A and B are shown apart, each in its own frame.
Chain A
Amino acid sequence: MNNLGLAGKPRRAVSLGFEGLDWDRLVDTLPVGIYTCDLSGRLVQYNQHAVSLWGRSPNVSDREYRFCGAAKTYELDGRDLLPEDTPMAKVLRTGEALRGYELIVERPDLSRIFIQASAEPLFDESGAIVGGVSCFQDITARKEAEIRDRKLLRRVNEQTALYQFTDRLYRAETLQQHYEAGLDAIQTALRCDRASLLFFDEMGVMRFAAWRGLSQAYRAAVEGHSPWTPEETDPSPICMTDVEAAGLPESLRETITREGIRALAFIPMVARGKVIGKFMTYYEAPHSFTADEMDLAVTIARQLGFSVERKRVADAQRRAEQGLRENEERLRLATQTGKVGLWDWDILNDRLSWTDSQFAILGLDKEKVEPTVEGFFALLHPDDRDRVREALARTLKDNAPYEIEFRIMRPDGRTNWLFANASAFWEGNRPVRLLGATFDITERKEAEAQRGLLVAELSHRVKNTLATVVSIAHQSFSRGQPVDEARNSFAARIQALAQTHSRLADAAWSGVSFRTMLLDELAPYLREDGGNVRLSGPDLKLNSKTAVTLGMAFHELVTNAVKHGALSRPEGCIEVTWTLAENQLSIRWIESHGPKVSPPQRSGFGRLLLERALAADLRGDVQLNFAEHGLECRVSLPL
C-alpha cells in the first residue's frame, strides 16, 4: 500500500505496540472495509474486506468509480444514492468528518447489503485537505432484524387497534358510536388519512353513515354508487391503486381527483349473508394495497358489519317492544273510559276472558257471570244472532276480517248497539286465539235513527202540505166563481201559506210570532203613516200547526177587507187586539170607516176556513159579526 501520509497517530501507536507487524496486512485483516480517495474522489487504496463487501475489486486507476467502490448504492428508502452524495464525497467537499451513515450497496450479483459508513478527511503537513478515508461495515443482519421488529411492531399495533376496536364495539351504545369505532380502527390499522362508512338504506340505496375528511359535494356526488347489490353473497374488496390509471368514466374520475384522492378501496360489509354496506379508504397518493392490508380490512369489515347489524336488529326490536308497550298502554287507557271492551278467546281450551269494560258494555256483573261464548250469544238480539255466528265462522275458517255491528239485549232491559272487531292468531292453518274489541255505538245508532226520522218527518210534512194545497185548490175552484177570480184567490192563498212556511223555516220550525204573521198579511195594504192598522197584544209564539191554520184564516179576513171592507177605502181602519189568559188566546178584529157592511148571501171559502177549520183544527171558537159600521171577528182558541 502506498503511504499517502495518513495521520500520524495510528502509525505511532503501531510502531509503539506492535513492532514488526506488517501494517498493510493488519489493515487488510480488519473486519471493516476501508478505502481512501484523493481530493478528486478517485479511489486510491482499499482493503480486502472492502472487496468482499463491494463484491468486486475496482481498478484503482479506473476513474469511473469516484468516492466509492460499490457498483451501485441506494438510500435506505430505496432511492438511488449517487456517488457524489456518498459520505466520502460530502467529507471531501466539506472537510468535516461524517459518522454512522446508513446506505444500501448493490453488488454485481444484484444482492444487496446494508452498510454503515463513516468518513474522515485526510490532511497534509500544512493542514490542507488532500483526500479522505472511509470505513464501512455490513449491518445487514441488524437491519433485517430491525425490519422484522418493525413489521412485528406494526402487527402488534394492528392487533392492538383490532382489540380496541372490538372492545369499543362491545361498549358502543349508539350506532354512531359503532361508526366512530369503525372509522378509528380503519384509520389506525390501514394508516389512511380519510375513510367513510356507507350502508344500504331500506330502499336499497347506498348512503353515507359516517366519514372523515370528505366534502359535502363529494359525498353528494358519489352517494348511491355501489359495486354490489344487497343480494350479493360473496363480494370481494375492490382496490384502485391509482385513480388516474383506473379507466374510470371521466366525470367520476374528475369528482374523485378534485377531492384530492389518488387511491381508494371498497371493502364490503356483510351480515347474515347479505351485503349491508361498505367502508372506504382514501389515499392522497397512488397506493399499492398489500395482502396484509386487505386481510386487515376484511377483518374490520366483518366485525363492523356484524355489530352494526346486531345493533340495528336490537334497535328495531326495542322500537317494536316500545310500540307494543305504548299500544298496550293506549288500550288500557281506552278500556278505562268504558267505551271499549276487550276480549280474548283461547280457542283451543275454549277459555274466554273479558276486561271490566267488556262486562260493563254487556251489562253483566263480573262477580256473578263467567265469560263464555254461548253466554255472549245468548245476549245477542235474536235478529242478529245468525249474522254474528256466520261472521265468526268466516273469520275462524278463512281469516276474514271480523268487523260487525249487532244489538245486544242487556239484563237491565236495554237494547244496545255494539261494534266488534277481532284478529285471529293461527298455528299453521288452525285458529288458536281470537283477540277482540267491543265498542258501544248505541249513541251513534240512535243519532242515525233520529236522522232517518227527521227525513221521514220532512217527507211527511211536504206531502201533507201538498195535500193542503190540493184542498185549497179544490175549495178555490169549486164554488162557481169566475175562473180568473178563482185563480187569483188560489195564488194569493198559496202565497200566504208559503209565507207562513218561510217564517217557520226561518225559526227552524220552533214557532212564529203572531204579530209577524199578521204584519206579513197586512203589509201590502199599510198606509205610509201606518195609521190604518193598529196591532196590540203581548208577544206570542205560535206553533207550526196553529200558525199555518191561523195564517190561512187571517189571509181570508184581510182578503175580505181589501175586497169589501175597511181596506177597500183609504180612510178605512183595522184594529187587532189580542190577550192571553190561562192558555186561552182571545183575538179581536175590528174594521171601521169602511163601506157599509151587509151580511153576505153565500158562505165562501173564507168563512169555511174561519168558522169550521179553526174550530176543527185548533178547537177554536169564531164569531163573525157583520155590523153595519164594519166587520167584527172574535176568535178564541186554546194554546
Chain B
Amino acid sequence: MPREPASLNNATILIVEDEFLLATMLAEDLKAAGFATLGPVMSLANAMRAVAEESFSLAVLDVNLAGEMVYPLADELAARAIPFLFLTGYGASHLPDRFRNAPRLSKPYDPALLTSEIAKILSPVRR
C-alpha cells in the first residue's frame, strides 16, 4: 500500500524519460500520489546536469534515452547515495551485472505499484 501522501510530501522525484507522453503521464501520476517532481529530463546530458545542480530524493530512470544508456547517471547517483528506480521495457538480464539487484519496474507500469515501490525505497531513509 502506498504511504499517505502527507508523509512523503517532502520527497522530490527526478523524472528521466525521453518519451514525451510517458514522461507527462509519469509526472501526473507522481503528483497525484503526493510527490513533487523534477523534470522530466529527456537526455543523459541534461540528467547529469540535474544531478549536479538540483536536489531531489529519488530518480525514476528510463534506461534508453534516445539511444544513450542511462547507466553513467545511475553510477553517479549510486556514488552520491541517491536512490533510483529503473523503469524499462528491458528485462533484468539486460541490465549490467552491477544493477541486477537495483529496484526496477517494467513498462508499462502500474501507477499504484510505482508509488508503493518509491515509498518502500524512501521509507528506511526517512525513518
Contacts and interface: CB of A to CB of B under 8 A. Distances in A.
A467 B108 contact: yes
B108 A466 contact: yes
Interface string A430-469: 0000000000000000000000000010011111101111
Interface stretch (A250-258, A590-598, A609-617): A609-617
Contacts of B91: 456, 459
A461 B108 CA distance: 11
A482 to B, nearest CB: 21
Contact of A472 (B21, B28, B88, B94): B21
A616 B42 contact: yes
A247 B42 CA distance: 106
Contact of A464 (B23, B42, B89, B94): B89
A456 B107 contact: no
Interface residues of B, number: 20
B19 A617 contact: yes
Contact of B21 (A460, A468, A478, A615): A468
A53 to B, nearest CB: 122
Nearest to A470: B108
Contacts of A608: 24
Contacts of B94: 456
Contact of B22 (A462, A467, A612): A467
**Interface residues of B: mostly helix, strand, loop or mixed?**
mixed
B21 A471 contact: yes
A471 B89 contact: no
A563 interface: no
Given A463-B106, A463-B107, A616-B42, A456 B20 contact: no
A469 B108 contact: yes
Contacts of A464: 19, 89, 107
User: For chain A, what secondary structure do more than half of its interface residues adopt (helix, strand, loop), or is it mixed?
Assistant: helix
B45 interface: no
Interface string A579-623: 000000000000000000000000000001100110111000000
Nearest to A466: B108
Interface in B1-42: 18-25, 28, 42
A468 B20 contact: no
B90 A471 contact: no
B55 to A, nearest CB: 24
Given A466-B107, A471-B25, A616-B42, A460 B90 contact: yes
A135 to B, nearest CB: 126
Nearest to B18: A617
Interface in A460-495: 460-464, 466-472, 474-475, 478
B97 to A, nearest CB: 12
Residue of A456, A463, A469, A613 most packed against chain B (CB within 10 A):
A463
B115 to A, nearest CB: 15
A276 B73 CA distance: 84
Nearest to A613: B20
A605 to B, nearest CB: 10
Given A463-B108, A464-B19, A616-B42, A470 B90 contact: no
A429 to B, nearest CB: 44
A462 B90 CA distance: 10
Nearest to B64: A460
A544 B77 CA distance: 32
Interface residues of A, number: 24
B20 A467 contact: no
B28 A468 contact: no
Nearest to A468: B21
Contacts of A469: 108
A456 B22 contact: no
A560 to B, nearest CB: 18
Most chain A beta carbons < 10 A, residue from B22, B64, B88 = B22
B63 to A, nearest CB: 9
A612 B21 CA distance: 9
Given A459-B91, A460-B89, A463-B89, A613 B107 contact: no
A456 B88 CA distance: 12
Interface in B62-112: 64, 88-91, 94, 106-109
A468 B17 CA distance: 12
A606 to B, nearest CB: 13
Contacts of B108: 463, 466-467, 469-470
A470 B90 CA distance: 17
Q: Of A467, A470, A472, A474, which is in contact with the most chain B CB atoms at under 10 Å from its CB?
A: A467
B26 to A, nearest CB: 9
Contacts of A461: 89
Contacts of A613: 20-21
A463 B106 CA distance: 8
A61 B30 CA distance: 160
A467 B42 contact: no
Contact of A470 (B25, B64, B88): B25
A471 B21 CA distance: 6
Given A456-B91, A456-B94, A467-B89, A617 B25 contact: no
11 contacts: A459-B89, A459-B91, A460-B88, A460-B90, A464-B89, A467-B108, A468-B21, A468-B22, A471-B19, A471-B24, A474-B25
Given A467-B22, A617-B20, 8 more contacts: A459-B90, A464-B107, A466-B107, A467-B107, A470-B25, A471-B19, A613-B20, A617-B19
Q: Which 6 A-B pairs have the closest CB atoms?
A: A463-B89, A616-B20, A471-B21, A460-B89, A467-B108, A613-B20
